Amino acid sequence: MVTRARRQWKPDSRGYYTRQIGWKLSKSGIRQQHKFILGTDLRQAEIREVKLREIWTVIASRSREPAPLWCETELEVARATAKGASEFVLPRNGGETPTNYAERLQRLQKRFAVIHVLPEDRRAYRIGEENLTRLEAINDDGQLASVHTRLENVDPAKILAMQESERVLVAAGVPLTSPKPDVVPDKPFVGEELPDSDARHLSRSEVTSCVEPADAIAIEGMLHQAMKKYQEYLEREFHRPESNQISPWGKTQVKQVETLIQHHGDRPISDLDSSEINELIGYWRRRPCKLRTTTPMTAKSCKNYLSALTRFLKWLDTSSRFEWTKPIAFGDMDTRIRRLAVDHARKSLEQVDTFSLDELKLLMRYGHPFDRLLLLMGLNCGFGRAEIASTLVGEVHLFSAHSPRHQEILDFKSTAEDSFIKRVRRKSGVYGEHILFPLTVQAIQWAMTHRRTFPGYGPHAVLVVNRAGTALDKSTKAGNTNQMIPNHFDRLIKRIRADGHDIRSLSFGKLRKTGSQLIKRFSDGEIMGVFDCHGQPVKSDALTDAYSNRPFGRVFTAIRNLQEYLQPVFAEAGNDPFTTQDAASNQ
């Protein structure tokens, strides 16, 4: 029986996409399909489904059973893949020898190329890997063996006998040539109990004296070498198969690590003890100057680089490439960034830059249809460029009232004349609803008309695209972040200034803050947090979402009050703000 393959994607009530792939036995012994939760991002869910089906195809093709099932290890690998992980840490079974552990890990990695398998017991894996290298060079006759040589076919007694003979010859002064690749290695198994045989047995102390010490087996390295390996890991972790590029966030992290390399001198990884790591952290806490300048870095920049350093050290602790373990006191180290006098010089009554009402009027007056769409979604819903670029057609509900039950929960009476955007914010994973201004409805209808001219229009299609029908969050050919929305907004401000008007050069992101500030004016900080889809709107109560529904009804009331306040802004759009002749101005 094949696994279920659906073509349509529909999130569940929590906003998660799911797929049933492969088969397993329930607790009652009934054969059933396993349900994987693939996250809230549709694109990532599609990628993860492809990987899961590839894993299951390998399992089904290799199984000798007519009805293959997930085994526990394979299912754990699949679960990690469903969560979007690029690595899976394989635990070592109780009593499992290092050689068998290394062989099992390598076999698992060979079968499932979609995920990188790492050892939980790194020392045992290194020992086992060393043994496998020797075992692959011999068979029962001492000749070159294939890589598929079974461990149980190799007689350890022969290895011990040859080792003992070599000792005797060396003691007698007989020179020995270096062994060729097709002869038995000159060392016994490393770190494993030897089975009983008729040959002379070596004690564990004798066996370990014949081999390299543990420190010699450990993979040593330098700090800069490890950071460059970490950059390679980031490029794999944040690689997007659909575009064959690294994501913008991944690219940012790679650049942050490059800055770490420039600021921190190279040194052996073995020197990174508690005091040394505390010094690395203290370097960023103390606000170093920018390279080749005498200007201290901003507190935000230092915080970002300190976070990058912390992520690197955590990766280094789990990496099998380097023998390093983070100190016990690592989690208790002080990471507070020092505040300087220059940080307080700019503080005043207006701590957050927001647009004034007069500036909003100018933006609406000089805006093209696309500019007005961006302006309205920022003010009405608190959307930044990421939210605008990721909004789907199916998340817009035009002229649709809530059900009586939902109206009771919301404590807000909606009618068939009301329109809403209902979606999960991708960044925080928090569900949000926003009632729309009438002018925002017109802007969205204009965007839908434009979107229908391109293939793929439907509930799962992105709402706002450029003139060529491309999503606004698609990376450039060079893999850089798409700058179309901020560039459009910058050109709008330049047009206003060129006409002799006074307006500050604030970024597009300040529109979201302007909307949030106005919502707070007409309500309070909690409602502003719900409006912004923050993870914890009430900072003093982390459990508020666990015991109550979010007060979207109060958010709708605040948006209605904001709508009245912005009437002078709406008037600047004229009687036909989204005319067809201006469509060419879209992008």
Instruction: Please give the C-alpha separations between residue 144 and each of 133, 136, 137, 149, 362, in angstroms, as whole numbers.
Output: 12, 8, 5, 10, 81
Instruction: Please give the C-alpha separations between residue 2 and each of 5, 20, 57, 66, in angstroms, as whole numbers.
Output: 9, 11, 10, 11
> Quick one: pLDDT band at residue 218, thresholds 50, 70, 90?
very low
In this predicted structure, the answer to whether residue 135 has a pLDDT above a threshold of 80 is no
3-class DSSP state of 273: coil
> Quick one: pLDDT band at residue 52, thresholds 50, 70, 90?
very high
Written as six digits, the tokens of 576 are 């036909």
**C-beta atoms surrounding 170 within 10 Å:** 11
- Token pair 């599609």 is at which residue? 46
Can you tell me the distance from the alpha carbon of 556 to that of 219, in angstroms, rounded to the nearest whole number? 59
Q: What one-character DSSP code corresponds to residue 157?
A: H
Q: What angle do CA 217, 233, 136 make, to 5 degrees?
A: 40
Can you tell me the distance from the alpha carbon of 519 to that of 119, in angstroms, rounded to the nearest whole number? 51
Can you tell me the distance from the alpha carbon of 388 to that of 390, in angstroms, rounded to the nearest whole number? 6
Can you tell me the distance from the alpha carbon of 583 to that of 340, in angstroms, rounded to the nearest whole number? 49
Question: 462-494: per-residue pLDDT in tens?
Answer: 999 999 899 998 877 777 788 999 999 999 999
- Token pair 């099932």 is at which residue? 69
Written as six digits, the tokens of 425 are 């914010």
CB 326 within 8 A of CB 313: yes
Can you tell me the distance from the alpha carbon of 439 to that of 24, in angstroms, rounded to the nearest whole number? 53
Q: What is the arithmetic mean of pLDDT over 18-39? A: 90
3-class DSSP state of 197: coil
> Quick one: pLDDT band at residue 231, thresholds 50, 70, 90?
very high
**C-beta atoms surrounding 372 within 10 Å:** 26
List of E strands, 110-238: 116-119
Can you tell me the distance from the alpha carbon of 226 to that of 319, in angstroms, rounded to the nearest whole number? 10
CB 535 within 8 A of CB 430: yes
Q: What one-character DSSP code corresponds to residue 485?
A: H
Q: Output the pLDDT for position 427.
A: 82
**C-beta atoms surrounding 574 within 10 Å:** 10
Closest CA to 48 of 58, 35, 38: 38
Q: Output the pLDDT for position 4.
A: 54
Question: 67-122: per-residue pLDDT in tens?
Answer: 889 998 899 999 999 998 888 999 998 888 888 899 999 989 988 888 889 998 88
CB 289 within 8 A of CB 297: yes
> Quick one: pLDDT band at residue 320, thresholds 50, 70, 90?
confident
Task: Give the rounded percent of residues in the chain with a pLDDT score beyond 90.
Answer: 50
Residues 6+ apart with CB under 8 A from 166: 176, 186
In this predicted structure, the answer to whether residue 311 has a pLDDT above a threshold of 80 is yes
Instruction: Please give the C-alpha separations between residue 354 and each of 336, 351, 513, 557, in angstroms, as whole numbers.
Output: 28, 9, 6, 22
Written as six digits, the tokens of 349 are 């009554």
- Token pair 């914890």 is at which residue? 536
Residues 6+ apart with CB under 8 A from 252: none
Average predicted confidence (pLDDT) for the chain:
82
Q: What would you measure as the largest C-alpha separation in the chain, in angstroms?
A: 106
**C-beta atoms surrounding 579 within 10 Å:** 13
Burial 386-395 (b: 16+ CB within 10 A, else e): ebbbbbebeb
Closest CA to 496 of 358, 378, 368, 363: 363
Written as six digits, the tokens of 414 are 């909606």
Can you tell me the distance from the alpha carbon of 124 to that of 312, in angstroms, rounded to the nearest whole number? 24
In this predicted structure, the answer to whether residue 582 has a pLDDT above a threshold of 60 is no
**C-beta atoms surrounding 45 within 10 Å:** 21
Instruction: Please give the C-alpha separations between residue 30 and each of 33, 34, 171, 475, in angstroms, as whole numbers.
Output: 10, 12, 66, 46
DSSP letters of 96-143? --HHHHHHHHHHHHHH-TTSEEEESSHHHHHHHHHHHHHHTT--TTSS
Q: Output the pLDDT for position 518.
A: 96
CB 397 within 8 A of CB 419: yes
Closest CA to 387 of 533, 504, 494: 533
Question: 530-559: per-residue pLDDT in tens?
Answer: 999 988 766 555 666 666 789 999 999 999
Question: 139-154: per-residue pLDDT in tens?
Answer: 444 444 443 444 445 4
CB 110 within 8 A of CB 103: no
3-class secondary structure for 139-150? CCCCCCCCCCCC
List of E strands, 15-139: 18-25, 31-37, 87-90, 116-119
Can you tell me the distance from the alpha carbon of 98 to that of 120, in angstroms, rounded to the nearest whole number? 12
**C-beta atoms surrounding 454 within 10 Å:** 12
